[in-house]
Amino acid sequence: MRIAVIGTGNIGGTLGTKWRAAGHDVVYGSRRAPGDGPGGAPVRAIGAALADAEVVVLAVPGSAVAELVAAHGGALAGKVVIDATNRMGAPEFDSRAAIKAASPDARYVRAFNTLGWENFADPVPSAALFFAADPEARAVADELIAAVGLEPAFVGDADATGTVDALLPLWFALVQQRGGNRRLALRVVQ
Ligand SMILES: NC(=O)c1ccc[n+]([C@@H]2O[C@H](COP(=O)([O-])OP(=O)(O)OC[C@H]3O[C@@H](n4cnc5c(N)ncnc54)[C@H](OP(=O)(O)O)[C@@H]3O)[C@@H](O)[C@H]2O)c1
């Protein structure tokens, strides 16, 4: 897959590194000067990174998403957009509404926002990543979650974003109660 990862920090850099290692064509969209990014994938201006992508992953501060997608909404049309961002302290953690307003045809995925980045770099065996996705985007999300070494756990279409996000305070509480161990995840047992 041709993946544009927007943001080269903990989340963007970790996911981009894993997907490149798995054979995907990763480019970072960044405010930084062009060059090599985490894992060796190229860094480009955000517009240039979006141009050829099939999948876009937003890994910037939650407070930066609305302005970013408003500036690049046209480039998101028809693409799978994975929202890994959290707007801490806002009524909703996700940026689904801003993404939909900027690009009504984007295929929304809510994923990679309920576990610390350490779990993407080095997953606990059999740990699940809970996600929601528009129907046309589900298979892509499944594949990219599996590619980082987590079990994809689909909870519903994009309207189930709040169900995914309910796990975020749970994860923080478990980390706090277990001495700050952030390499901690949930598993589905059936
Ligand atoms: N840290 C975690 O464990 C974790 C877990 C789940 C979800 N999240 C969420 O994932 C997102 C990224 O978190 P992170 O830990 O990766 O943060 P981070 O390490 O600070 O990286 C964020 C990246 O976003 C870019 N950026 C910063 N300000 C920006 C702006 N105003 N406009 C556009 N791009 C900007 C920067 O990349 P460039 O310098 O290359 O532009 C920066 O490296 C956040 O929304 C966070 O809530 C984090």
Report domain extents, the chain: 2-177
Atom 9 in ligand 1: residue holding the nearest Cα: 85
Which of 5, 10, 44, 117 has most ligand 1 atoms within 8 Å of CB, for mutation?
Answer: 10
pLDDT at 34: 94
Q: Are strands 35-36 and 128-133 parallel, antiparallel or unpaired?
A: unpaired
Ligand 1 centroid to residue 182 C-alpha, Å? 17
**pLDDT tens-place string over residues 30-74:** 999 999 999 999 999 999 999 999 999 999 999 999 999 999 999
Helices 138-147 and 10-21: angle between axes, nearest 10 degrees: 90
pLDDT-derived band at 135, boundaries 50, 70, 90: very high
| Residues 130-147, mean pLDDT to the nearest whole number | 98
Give 162 Cα–ligand 1 centroid separation in angstroms: 21
pLDDT in tens, 81-105: 999 999 999 999 999 999 999 999 9
**What is the token pair recorded at 161?**
């974003």
Q: Which residues contact 187 (CB under 8 A, 6 or more apart)?
A: 126, 127, 128, 151
Closest atom, ligand 1, to C-alpha of 168: 6
Residues in the chain: 190
The amino acid occupying position 172 is F
pLDDT value, residue 16: 98
pTM score, whole prediction: 0.98
Which CATH code of 3.20.20.70, 1.20.5.440, 3.40.50.720, 3.40.449.10 fits the domain covering 2-177?
A: 3.40.50.720
